[in-house]
């Protein structure tokens, strides 16, 4: 394949070819080029092969669970591993512990709830931050603060989880949540914000912490996008007498809207797949959807990390298989979200934030 | 702003909205900076009062001891990820930026591979960890060990390295390539001596940030690397390896204070490690930008 490519010096006089060959040292010119070409080609196939391998393993492992759990897996609310002492039962040709009943609805609901809270918190904060960094602050202050926001993206999620469970959660439960729970009126929708506030482990704390984790992703991309908006339209709008707020709302933000949406969906992808921080902060309650916004819960990712250990003790392998099914559900959700995000982002921005995921 | 114009007459409402807008954007910045500073200060306050330097030179023992095994293990994992993900990621970045042939339609080449790489970069890390456990540790009987951990982590950060390498290469001015061509260099030789050389700071930056991500990961390692109190051994498989994030994750809620301190110490070491990596990468970026020719 290498020879088909038109070499830039293909038509060059022989003297120049000889010069290049001499400069190339041990490798002949064609030799070095095809070495690069082939090694790069092989390397670029590895992520695709890895992804295919991961999806194949997930599908094969999940298949027995899919056969037994059925479509109800997505809507049931139960997480019963069954008896490991009784003889295994066979359903649809798959052996599993007697009484095993798995349903992922609370995990899926928890994943979506925490991610939505994270987005509601992170989006306005990110846009405000990006605006402050690009339009309001002097460069000597904006530069280090921008770097700080990027550093925040690199802080290991286990440390954010540590802070969330030991410091932020108890603080919020002691000083903030009671204020909300006691002052929100007892009417249909707002009732969700009332009731027992717990000890700081649960849905709202997890969502807030996830929000803090995705702010750097959205904010740094939005900042880059704002910097790309040409000054002339903004100056024109100001010359028409618009205030800064109006310029932002009518010129700057519409100019980069698709980029902001893309970055937001990217942040959503991160929030959906985040594992360790949520496993530490959620309270890890399986099988129930939280009755109010303060309640303990868990997500798909957090369940896999907290249950894999005990799942390995199921002699029939059914628990492990069920976790693969849960993983498959999560993978499908995140892949869809990410593909949508990349399609939008690639049209507008090339920024890559340093993003850990778990 | 108070100028009278026909299009936008100044009203009280507009002035109020302006003030509200400015206040909110300042508040938003505070909502980011505040919790971040709080978070870092929290780790420092928990770890520093009980800090002992022999944490770095002893292994965990009963309810105390140190983290030498985890510090060395994390360094071993860093080197391994650098070798595997670094090679694969940089080469695929080169493929995407320089070598993938454009389609007939005129669009950039390597679309399928690029999409796969991007999908992988958003893949939930715990699912990668699960597959590593099921397929490599159990399926291939490797047990909890270094190799499955490296494979899973590398799979996770390779897309990032590929992407940053690609954008570093794309920032090399076309005139460099044209100059190299005019001197009669072959594509391969020009790539090595001219293009990659001038993109090197950008590539290294990407590698450092990828390392910072790898250092901070927990979920993909728990069920692939396992844990051990002994120092890292030379074997790639069958021997579990310790790493720092494990101690943060498991020790913070242990009943004994000295064990909890290990968790905070590990968190402090991690923060320092990640900060060093990110600051060095930022210094590199600044140097590159100073040398960049007529480019942002």
Contact across the interface for B28 and A132, Cβ inside 8 Å: yes
Task: Examine the pLDDT at A354 and tell me if it is beyond 80.
Answer: no
* pLDDT average, residue stretch B252-266: 87
Which candidate in B2, B6, B126, B272 is best for mutational testing of the A interface (most A CBs within 10 A)?
A: B126
Per-residue pLDDT tens over the stretch A78-89: 888 887 777 788
CA distance to partner chain A, nearest, from residue B155 (Å): 7
Task: Examine the pLDDT at A345 and tell me if it is beyond 80.
Answer: no
Per-residue pLDDT tens over the stretch B201-238: 888 888 998 998 899 889 899 999 888 888 888 788 88
Contact residues on chain B for A215, CB-CB shorter than 8 A: 32
Say yes or no: A23 contacts chain B, CB-CB below 8 A. yes
Per-residue pLDDT tens over the stretch B56-103: 888 888 777 888 889 999 999 999 999 999 999 999 998 888 877 665
Contact residues on chain B for A133, CB-CB shorter than 8 A: 29
Going from N- to C-terminal start, the domains of chain A cover 2-69, 102-346
Q: How confident is the model at residue B41, as a pLDDT?
A: 93
Contact residues on chain A for B98, CB-CB shorter than 8 A: 40
Q: How confident is the model at residue B79, as a pLDDT?
A: 94
Is 1.10.3720.10 the CATH classification of the domain at B56-291? Answer: yes
Q: How confident is the model at residue A207, as a pLDDT?
A: 93
CA distance to partner chain A, nearest, from residue B182 (Å): 8
Going from N- to C-terminal start, the domains of chain B cover 12-49, 56-291
Contact across the interface for B116 and A51, Cβ inside 8 Å: yes
CA distance B131 to B125: 10
Contact across the interface for B87 and A124, Cβ inside 8 Å: no
Contact across the interface for A324 and B25, Cβ inside 8 Å: no
Which candidate in A11, A18, A32, A47 is best for mutational testing of the B interface (most B CBs within 10 A)?
A: A47
Say yes or no: B197 contacts chain A, CB-CB below 8 A. no
CA distance to partner chain A, nearest, from residue B79 (Å): 18
Q: Tell me which chain A residue has its CA closest to the CA of residue B212.
A: A154
Say yes or no: B36 contacts chain A, CB-CB below 8 A. yes
Architecture per CATH, domain A102-346, reads as Orthogonal Bundle (1.10)
Q: Tell me which chain A residue has its CA closest to the CA of residue B13.
A: A243
């Amino acid at each position: 394949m290498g020879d088909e490519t038109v070499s830039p010096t293909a038509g060059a006089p022989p003297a120049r070819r000889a010069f290049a060959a001499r400069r190339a040292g041990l490798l002949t010119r064609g030799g070095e080029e095809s070495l690069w070409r082939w090694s790069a080609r092989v390397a670029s196939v590895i992520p695709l092969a890895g992804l295919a391998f991961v999806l194949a393993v997930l599908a094969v492992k999940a298949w027995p669970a899919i056969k037994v759990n059925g479509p109800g897996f997505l809507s049931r609310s139960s997480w019963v591993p069954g008896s490991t002492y009784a003889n295994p039962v066979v359903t649809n040709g798959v052996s599993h512990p007697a009484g095993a009943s798995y349903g992922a609805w609370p995990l899926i609901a928890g994943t979506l709830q925490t991610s939505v809270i994270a987005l509601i918190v992170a989006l306005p904060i990110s846009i405000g931050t990006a605006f402050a960094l690009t339009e309001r602050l002097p460069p000597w202050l904006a530069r280090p603060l921008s770097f700080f926001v990027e550093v925040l993206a690199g802080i290991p999620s286990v440390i954010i989880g540590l802070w969330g469970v030991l410091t932020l959660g108890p603080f919020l439960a002691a000083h903030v949540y009671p204020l909300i729970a006691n002052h929100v009126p007892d009417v249909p929708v707002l009732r969700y914000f009332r009731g027992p506030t717990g000890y700081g482990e649960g849905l709202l704390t997890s969502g807030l912490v996830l929000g803090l984790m995705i702010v750097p992703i959205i904010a740094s991309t939005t900042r880059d996008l704002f910097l790309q908006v040409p000054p002339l339209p903004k100056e024109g709008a100001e010359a028409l007498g618009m205030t800064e707020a109006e310029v932002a709302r009518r010129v700057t933000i519409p100019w980069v809207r698709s980029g902001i949406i893309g970055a937001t969906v990217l942040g959503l992808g991160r929030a959906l797949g985040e594992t360790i921080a949520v496993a530490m902060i959620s309270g890890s309650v399986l099988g129930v959807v939280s009755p109010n916004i303060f309640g303990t819960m868990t997500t798909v990712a957090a369940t896999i990390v907290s249950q894999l250990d005990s799942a390995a003790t199921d002699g029939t392998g059914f628990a492990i298989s069920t976790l693969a099914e849960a993983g498959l559900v999560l993978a499908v959700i995140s892949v869809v979200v990410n593909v949508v995000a990349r399609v939008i982002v690639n049209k507008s921005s090339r920024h890559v934030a340093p993003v850990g995921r778990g | 702003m108070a100028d009278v114009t026909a299009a936008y007459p100044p009203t009280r409402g507009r002035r109020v909205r302006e003030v509200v807008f400015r206040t909110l954007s300042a508040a938003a910045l505070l909502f980011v900076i505040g919790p971040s500073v709080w978070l870092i200060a929290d780790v420092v306050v928990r770890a520093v009062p009980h800090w002992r330097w022999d944490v770095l030179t002893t292994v965990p023992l009963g309810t105390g001891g140190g983290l030498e095994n985890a510090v060395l293990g994390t360094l071993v994992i860093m080197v391994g990820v650098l070798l595997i993900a670094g090679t694969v990621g940089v080469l695929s970045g080169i493929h995407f930026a320089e070598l993938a042939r454009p389609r007939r339609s005129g669009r950039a080449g390597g679309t399928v591979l690029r999409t796969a790489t991007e999908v992988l970069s958003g893949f939930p890390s715990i699912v990668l960890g699960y597959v590593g456990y099921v397929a490599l540790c159990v399926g291939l009987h490797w047990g909890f060990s270094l190799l499955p951990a490296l494979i899973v982590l590398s799979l996770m950060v390779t897309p990032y390295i590929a992407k940053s390498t690609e954008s570093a290469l794309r920032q090399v001015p076309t005139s460099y390539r044209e100059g190299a061509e005019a001197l009669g260099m072959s594509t391969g030789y020009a790539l090595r001596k001219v293009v990659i050389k001038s993109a090197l700071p950008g590539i290294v930056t990407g590698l450092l940030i990828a390392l910072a991500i790898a250092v901070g990961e927990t979920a993909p390692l728990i069920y692939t690397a396992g844990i051990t109190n002994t120092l890292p051994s030379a074997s790639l498989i069958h021997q579990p390896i310790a790493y720092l994030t494990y101690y943060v994750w498991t020790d913070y809620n242990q009943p004994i204070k000295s064990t909890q301190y290990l968790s905070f110490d590990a968190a402090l070491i991690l923060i320092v490690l990640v900060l060093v990596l990110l600051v060095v990468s930022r210094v590199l970026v600044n140097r590159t930008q100073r040398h960049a020719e007529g480019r942002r």
